Amino acid sequence: MATKTMEFWRDVPSLGCLEYSWVPTGMRLVIQLAPGVPEGSRTDNLAGRTTHVQVYVMNNPPDSSDGWQFPLKAYPSPEDPGEIVKARVEVYHGQMKMTGKVWYPDGTMLADDHRLETVMRKCPTGNGPPGASAQVDTAKVANRRILHFDSLDQALAEADRLVEAEKAGRLKHLGNWTLGQTLNHLACWIEYGYTGAPIHSPFFIRWILRLRKNSFLYKPMRAGVHIPRVPGGTLAIDPVPLDESLPRFRRAVERLKNEAPTAPSPALGRLTHDEATALNLRHAELHLGFHVPE
């Protein structure tokens, strides 16, 4: 077990909360501060190596933020990120930003900024596993973007655009996932076309779904659909740093562009190259639509 310290500071100390996790553990943790108390901290004992911090909700009226992961560029390199020993979130009402800082065993410190919003967000009340609190019902999100991609190149271009917005602190997340989670999720489902998905649908479910095959391939995917008996409702939802998930998504898309999938879809069975491409485009349209550049 390793000990990690998270600090939370505000220049305007109202009733504040910070819900976060150490990536890749996914365990949601909370610091709550009373009005007039500018700073607080907690110590977390964790198994395994942690390389990033995920902020789910920061609320410090009149300011708030959600869906942010830092550092944006891992140290010493994205290919070999070092282990974080301490992190700190600082909220600057006067500058409408919050700063995330991380420290490494050799004393190196990295800092990234993220824009604040004047929106009230719900403070979680306790700790728990991923998904235990502050979850959005994605089927009811009315203002997500409705996207349409005619090619895999269009999906890649949109992913690149969202990454740039995230790095500039201009990306709003309407669902429950960070952009890093979304890109990793999309990449994994493309890869399942070659490795096979680690789930199997009952025959009668596959029969019903295949009757609606054209709808799955050529009409927008429905939001908020959960796979029965799968924790979290789907596969590949782990928090993943953006500097890992974007290259993985790019590699998966390039493979799909040039190589027909060989494994059957757990829902639709064997697909042609064009059908597999269409299915993954609908999938990308759905999930990338929950990330909104500002």
pLDDT tens digits, 184-203:
999 999 999 999 999 877 66
Range of the domain at 213: 138-293
- Domain co-membership, 275 together with 154: yes
- Domain co-membership, 48 together with 183: no
pLDDT score at 128: 41
- Domain co-membership, 150 together with 26: no
Query: Residue 276 CB: number of other CB atoms within 10 A?
Result: 22
Residue that is last in its domain, among 65, 81, 115: 115
Alpha carbon distance 284, 146 (integer Å): 11
- 121, part of any domain: no
pTM over 0.85, yes/no: no
CB under 8 Å to 228, separation ≥6 — which residues? Answer: none
pLDDT in tens, 84-121: 999 999 999 989 999 999 999 999 999 999 999 988 78
231-249: buried (b, 16+ CB within 10 Å) or exposed (e) per residue?
A: eeeebbbbbbbbbbbbebb
- 120, part of any domain: no
- 280, part of any domain: yes
Residue 120: exposure state from Cβ atoms within 10 A (0-12, 13-18, ≥19): exposed
- 33, part of any domain: yes
* Lowest model confidence (mean pLDDT) among 51-60, 100-109, 116-125, 248-257: 116-125
- 101, part of any domain: yes
Query: Residue 272 CB: number of other CB atoms within 10 A?
Result: 10
pLDDT score at 204: 60
pLDDT score at 132: 39
pLDDT score at 108: 94
- 130, part of any domain: no
Q: State the CATH number of the domain containing residue 232.
A: 1.20.120
Per cent of the chain over pLDDT 90 is 50
Residue 208 predicted with pLDDT over 80: no
Domain count, the chain: 2
